[in-house]
Amino acid sequence: MSLFRRLGRFVFGRSMSNQQLGEEKLNVFWGMPILSSDSISSVAYAVEEILLVLVPVIGMASFIWMPRIALAIIALMLILVFSYRHVVDAYPNGGGAYVVAKENLGTIYSLIAGASLSVDYVLTVAVSIAAATAAITSAFPALFSHRVGISLVIIFLLAVGNLRGIRESARVFSLPTYAFILTIVILVGSGLVRYLNGGPAIIPATMTPSAGTGLGAISFFLVVRAFASGCSAVTGVEAVSNAVPNFQAPAARQAKTVYLWLAVAIVICFGGVALLAFLYHIVPDPRQTVITQLTLAVFGPGAMLYLLATTTALILALAANTAYSGFPTLLSVIAQDGFVPRQLSLRGHRLNFNNGIVLLSLAAALLIIVFQADTHLLISLYAVGVFTSFTLSQAGMVLHWRKERSKGWVLKGLINGLGAVTTGVAVTVIGITKFTEGAWIVLVVVPVIIAIMMRIKNHYLSVAEQLDISNDTLARIDLRTTHTHHVIVPIDSINAMVIKALRYARSLTPHVEAFHVEVYEGESDKLLRKWAMLDTDIPLIVKYSPYREVVNLLTQYIDSEEHASQPGDIITVLLPQFFVSHRWEMALHNNTSLFIANAMLKKRNVVVSIIPFYLEDLKVYRFSKNNKPLVQ
Amino acid sequence: MSLFRRLGRFVFGRSMSNQQLGEEKLNVFWGMPILSSDSISSVAYAVEEILLVLVPVIGMASFIWMPRIALAIIALMLILVFSYRHVVDAYPNGGGAYVVAKENLGTIYSLIAGASLSVDYVLTVAVSIAAATAAITSAFPALFSHRVGISLVIIFLLAVGNLRGIRESARVFSLPTYAFILTIVILVGSGLVRYLNGGPAIIPATMTPSAGTGLGAISFFLVVRAFASGCSAVTGVEAVSNAVPNFQAPAARQAKTVYLWLAVAIVICFGGVALLAFLYHIVPDPRQTVITQLTLAVFGPGAMLYLLATTTALILALAANTAYSGFPTLLSVIAQDGFVPRQLSLRGHRLNFNNGIVLLSLAAALLIIVFQADTHLLISLYAVGVFTSFTLSQAGMVLHWRKERSKGWVLKGLINGLGAVTTGVAVTVIGITKFTEGAWIVLVVVPVIIAIMMRIKNHYLSVAEQLDISNDTLARIDLRTTHTHHVIVPIDSINAMVIKALRYARSLTPHVEAFHVEVYEGESDKLLRKWAMLDTDIPLIVKYSPYREVVNLLTQYIDSEEHASQPGDIITVLLPQFFVSHRWEMALHNNTSLFIANAMLKKRNVVVSIIPFYLEDLKVYRFSKNNKPLVQ
């Protein structure tokens, strides 16, 4: 085993057989943190996003509207969770919005959902890692100039961790999620106790209420925009329904339980932070996040501040892991339909979807480099994709209920319809208000991805049409052929390897020809003399090429009338090629045969055969005065 | 023709046939500048190098010793030139020190000479281009921080120019050499006239005679060291003798004439500059070269200063071109002996030695990057290689005369012996005095190159021993064989491509087997049903691989007793592979066949045949609701 392979095994772990697939699957306890860190981590910025829209316009009046909007978002989240629990029931093989849209709305809608979700997964990785890096660099400002490098290292570590396999990833990544939930619960609990005991909030020096400048009137558009901004709290809900096949049996029930846990976690964390921000009248500050301000107000500066900063940074980095679980699974589902390369549906040697993991890492790394790990620029691209897929999924579910008409279908359809309308409004609002900030990129990229997907599907359909054989035809096939075989052996000189090839060719058919290209005039004289000594009836064809090219001459010769083949005859080009034990030794030779093999396969409808000749390892020679070897 | 090819043709020129080789050769007028710019350009620093050794130790007494040392160097140069004219006579096929050492001293000495010369050529390029860049950046100080980039651009331009072909290079590069000689002649002539007319030297403000600090005693070692430093004037003399085959017929006579012209040019330029420096008592100054000081003293600041700076920079850059002519030719000679990869002896489509040109450019670029285009660091590595090859060449010529005993052999032998001793002393002095400054690198690299060369030769000898067939054996060879043919066809499914392959296999031999690897249990059921419909006597072997690998299973199967082959039987693995018109489409498939072909060739003594199946261009489909295509 080579050093390289050993290293690969050390980093990625041993190969696993297909039987081990069951062992690799998730249960609720490990599955909840791995698939919901994206949703839960958005608590770190969702309340702030709402206040950032409201406070500059309506000032302290924001604290009348913010709780209502937070409640609306919690309501939307519950609608989504319960709707997706139905999706899991209806589509236990995963696929989420893609499958729902495909089954109920049609191909083009499923491609919109698939492309939107793919873009969203890549952005989840980029945004979360940029935000985690920002958390690190605000703790250690000296690292700020290395933020792109730090982000890329985190992506690399996530990729390696995920290439090792599903369950191990879950274990590595589950504890920080629970730690984050726990610290938020402690923060909310302590903050409530302190408030109810009437203890005054600790207002640090940096907090100067600047909210009084907001003088604008409340408007429907403002509320909707604040609502849309806060909707970042519900991104990632899709992940669980996409990943149903990753759960232990009974997979659907486990996934539905995860949704319940997720709903509880978000209600407590998001609702709790929103409540505290309302009670303490927190005003967004560019230098300190809402969570940091709350921690300072409840605990003052100290250990709790650093603990929350750490768990926030960790869960943001780990939110990216949601995408590492969801994206490859989604791609494998789309790959089975033939809209993305089939290789994306193949499991790697650790039973995960290696190709999808690598693709996701590269795309996210590209975004990090292009946007220089700037969270604010990336976040503008973020929500369009999510809400597009939400809308399609909900709309698809409405049609699903209408088609199925199972018990309570009207109510379910109404709930899904409400979700579709709400998320549809949200995606429109986000698309318009954030268009110039970067949403346009998504609106360009998604159609391009869809076009590529259709091109790929077209290719697979075209290939299948040309290769497939119906059962009727199959039964009538006769494998016998009456065509003549011709074998052409391109040679450079006469040596043991060529003799082996000629012998092989001769045993196949009487129609064998040797073919030589003369590069310098007279260069082939020696070959012709030796050929005469061989005393064979195999003709040696010599062609002169002043331009030192072989492939074209060979093609021309095969096509020419000079060659005795009839249309329909089978022509095999037999190439002798020697192989040596070290790769550097191969570089010492022209390896013309391998070159001809490649070129011939692309040029002409002939069979290309390579007959190998294995050379043994080096013997050690001593050199005399005139380069004559003295064997040791 | 693809865009890429068109671009290549535009940059490198059209392909040339072998008949055009004669037209590409050099005559004296074009050959002199191309092969001697290295020698002539050293005038730019050789006198300065002598003074830099002497002045700090013995002060104004340097001007007693400098002319003597200059005369000694001119004498050495004349010895070398006349010796090399004999070399050209004795070895009209080129190769210089390498060939002389091989014929007269033995293999190991020829390898020392070859490796030393190779290193020297690379250093010639690196040193000359670094110095030319320094000339440019001292004219435009703002460019100093881009010196590595500028050097690399010059290397790139030289490489492209040389890849275009020999004669065109000569024309491009000959005029600056003549311009440099002319400006030096004008400088020397005007300086002499001014001196003889008793006109006082114009001493610019920057010239403050600081030579009075030299108080040391003159010593033998000091003189030898100054001599060795000045020897940089004679580097490059080897180039002409290496490049004899590049001359028009009669090549030897043309090359000898070039040596005479070269000797005259160096005597005038080097001798003239040394004389002026003596007459005007020029003291080396880190801020101004000796040539610049002389120009200021004779002409004062003005056009002549910029003209000389320009021609100096140009000839230094073009000195590198000597190596572009000499190095690939040397390598092609060594390649014919099998000590470097054979490909280095092949002419490219413009009839030059492309591989050698590319290799030289890459090595020089590496040195430029590692040493950050610093001339002073590079110059310390420079002379060891040249003088090693001089010594070997001269010593070889002594043995040559003793062996040949032609007319006047004693005198010729004495002259060559004197050259061998002088250059031998020089290389020892340089090796010792400049060891810590970088000469050690050459003393490490040369033995490493020699070891690699011997390893390569060993390989070629080993290959030849295993491939070569004597004429006796040849006459006794019988190409008939009685062994049985077996054909194994690995398949994924039954389709038109597989049917074509089975038909081909069946026409070769009755012993055909289809081979399938099942990745998931039960996955092959459909294949087995279809196989039954085909109703053939070809057996279908199915193997189960939970680790999703095909090659090992195939190898195991061939090796197993289960397979019906007898020892000595011929086994062909026939791989159906389809080809599509666009490269991106190939990326949509696993191309397992090509993968198996590669792996099988390395693993097992079987013939690997690829039967191509060409797929047509895409048809355009429309998609219905459930991915079912509607053909347009």
Question: CB contact, 8 Å: B472 with chain A?
Answer: no
Is B26-461 a domain of CATH 1.20.1740.10? yes
Whole-angstrom distance, CA of residue A345 vs CA of residue A352: 10
Q: Lowest mean pLDDT of B32-46, B203-217, B293-307, name the range.
A: B203-217
Size of interface A-B (CB pairs under 8 A): 251
Residues A99-112: pLDDT tens digits? 888 888 888 888 99
Overall average pLDDT of the A548-560 stretch: 81
Percent of chain A with pLDDT over 90: 12
Q: Is B377 exposed, middle or buried (0-12, 13-18, 19+ CB in 10 A)?
A: middle
Q: Which of B18, B104, B512 to mutate to test the interface with A (most CBs of A within 10 A)?
A: B18
Q: How far is B401 from chain A (nearest CA, A)?
A: 18
pLDDT, greater one: B355 or A272: A272
Confidence of residue A362 (pLDDT cuts 50, 70, 90): very high
* Stretch A447-461: mean pLDDT: 90
At B516, list the tokens.
């399938």
Q: Give the ranges where A270-344 is alpha helix by DSSP (H).
A: 272-280, 290-299, 303-336
Q: Are A108 and B623 in contact (CB < 8 Å)?
A: yes
Read off the pLDDT band of B208 (50, 70, 90): very low
What pLDDT shows up at residue B212? 47
Q: Is the pLDDT of residue B127 over 50?
A: yes
Please determine, for residue B226, whether its predicted confidence score (pLDDT) is greater than 80.
Answer: yes
Q: Does domain A21-461 have CATH number 1.20.1740.10?
A: yes
Distance (Å) from the alpha carbon of A337 to chain B's nearest alpha carbon: 8
pLDDT at B19 over 80: no
Q: Coil, helix or strand for A489?
A: strand
Residues B582, B595 contacting (CB under 8 angstroms): no
CA distance B335 to chain A (A): 10
pLDDT for position B207: 43
Residue in chain A lying closest to B549 (CA) = A349
Q: What is the pLDDT of residue B217?
A: 67
* CB contact A510 to B (< 8 Å): no
Residue B347 is given by DSSP the state -
- Under the banding of pLDDT at 50, 70 and 90, the label for residue B87 is confident
User: Looking at the predicted structure, is the pLDDT value of residue B255 above 50?
Assistant: yes
pLDDT band at residue A205 using 50, 70 and 90 as cut-offs: very low
**What mean pLDDT value characterizes chain A?**
80
pLDDT on residue B463? 85
The arithmetic mean of pLDDT across residues B546-550, rounded, is 71
CA closest to B462 among chain A residues: A618
Contact residues, chain A, for B503 at CB < 8 Å: 479-481
**Is the confidence at residue A58, as pLDDT, over 80?**
yes
> Which residue in chain B has the smallest CA separation from A109?
B625
Higher pLDDT, B452 or B627: B452
Q: Tell whether B622 lies on the interface with A, counting CB pairs under 8 A.
A: no
Q: How far is CA B391 from the centre of its chain?
A: 23
Check CB contact under 8 Å for A578 and B467. yes
CB contact under 8 A, B341 and A588: yes
Residue A366, pLDDT score = 93
> What proportion of chain B, given as a percentage, has pLDDT over 70?
85
What pLDDT, on the 0 to 100 scale, is given for residue A512? 92
Name the residue facing A459 among B349, B481, B585 (closest C-beta). B585
pLDDT of B447 reads 92
Contact list, A503 vs chain B (CB under 8 Å): 479-481
* Structure-model confidence comparison of residues A205 and A247, the more confident one: A247
What CATH number does the domain located at B485-631 have?
Answer: 3.40.50.620
Decide if pLDDT at B361 tops 90. Answer: yes
Both tokens assigned to B117: 């010369």
pLDDT tens profile B562-614: 776 777 788 899 998 888 877 777 777 777 777 788 888 876 678 999 898 88
Q: What is the pLDDT of residue A7?
A: 55
Distance CA B19, CA B21 (A): 5
The listed range with the strongest mean pLDDT (A515-529, B84-98, B157-171) is A515-529
B548 touching A, CB under 8 A? yes
Say whether residue B463 is in contact with chain A using an 8 A CB cutoff.
yes
Q: Are A40 and A180 spatial neighbours (Cβ–Cβ below 8 Å)?
A: yes
Confidence of residue A3 (pLDDT cuts 50, 70, 90): low
Mean pLDDT of A465-474: 83
Q: Would an 8 Å CB–CB cutoff place A219 in contact with chain B?
A: no
Task: Count H helices and E strands in chain B, helices first.
Answer: 24, 7
Among A486, A46, A104, A87, smallest CA distance to A259 is for A87
Q: Which of B534, B542, B488, B495 is nearest to B512 (CA)?
A: B488
pLDDT at A489 over 90: yes
Q: Check A467 against B620: CB less than 8 A apart.
A: no
Using an 8 Å CB-CB cutoff, list chain B residues near A570. Answer: 504, 507
pLDDT at B631 > cutoff 50: no
Tell me what pLDDT residue B272 has: 92
Q: Residue A45: pLDDT above 60?
A: yes
Name which of B459, B590, B606 to mutate to probe chain A: the one with the most chain A Cβ atoms within 10 A of its Cβ.
Answer: B459
On chain A, the residues whose CB falls within 8 A of the CB of B469 are: 494-496, 499
Spell out a b/e string for A485-500, using b for 16 or more CB atoms within 10 Å of the CB, else e.
bbbbbbbbebbbbbbb
Which pLDDT tens digit goes with each residue over B410-463? 888 887 888 788 888 878 877 887 787 777 888 899 999 999 999 888 888 888
pLDDT at site A467: 85
Contact A454 B623 (CB under 8 A): yes
The per-residue pLDDT of chain B, averaged, comes to 80
Is A359 at the interface with chain B, CB within 8 A? no
Q: Could you tell me which residues are beta bridge partners of residue B621?
A: B631
How far apart are the C-alpha atoms of B14 and A161, rounded to whole Å? 52
In this prediction the pTM is: 0.70
Our CA angle for B33, B38, B42, nearest 5°, is: 120
More confident residue, A536 or B546: A536
The least confident of A452-456, A493-497, A559-563, A608-612 is A559-563
Which chain A residues contact residue B602 at CB under 8 A? 579
pLDDT of residue B574: 92
Cβ neighbours, 10 Å, residue B561: 5
- Nearest-CB residue to B469 (from A477, A499, A546): A499
Q: How far is B339 from chain A (nearest CA, A)?
A: 10
Instruction: Say whether B507 and A485 touch across the interface (CB within 8 A).
Output: yes
A564 or B39, greater pLDDT: B39
The predicted-structure confidence for B467-525, as pLDDT tens digits, reads as follows: 888 888 888 888 877 778 889 999 988 888 899 899 999 888 888 999 998 877 777 88
Cβ of residue B483 closer than 8 Å to a chain A Cβ: yes
Which residue did the predictor score with more confidence, A298 or A3? A298
pLDDT at position A448 is 94
pLDDT greater at residue A289 or residue A575: A575
β-strands A570-579, A540-544 pairing:
unpaired
- Asked if the model's pLDDT at residue B100 lies above 60, the reply is yes
Tokens of A442: 């998504």
Give the nearest chain B residue to A21 (CA atoms).
B546
Asked if A17 and B547 come within 8 Å (Cβ–Cβ), the reply is yes
**Are the C-beta atoms of A79 and A417 separated by less than 8 Å?**
no
d(CA B353, CA B330): 10
In the structure encoding, which two tokens stand for residue B256, read together? 């000898």
Which residues in chain A are contacts of B338 at CB distance < 8 A?
A: 627
**pLDDT number for residue B632:** 39
Task: Please calculate the CA angle B29-B30-B32 and round it to the nearest 5 degrees.
Answer: 70
Q: Chain A: nearest CA to B22, how far in angstroms? A: 13
Cβ–Cβ of A610/B587 closer than 8 Å? no
pLDDT band per the 50, 70, 90 thresholds, residue A34: confident
| Contact residues, chain B, for A608 at CB < 8 Å | 609-610, 612
- Name the percent of chain A lying above pLDDT 70: 85
* E strand intervals along A288-347: none
Please report the pLDDT score of residue B190 as a whole number: 92
Average pLDDT, stretch A574-594? 80
65-124 in chain A: CB under 8 A from chain B: 102, 106-108
Distance from CA of B95 to the nearest CA of A (A): 15
What are the residue boundaries of the structural domains of chain B, listed by start?
Answer: 26-461, 485-631
A394-416 tens-digit pLDDT: 888 888 888 888 787 888 888 78
CA–CA separation, B498 and B611 (whole Å): 9
d(CA A534, CA A525): 14
Which pLDDT score, from 0 to 100, does residue B466 have?
A: 85
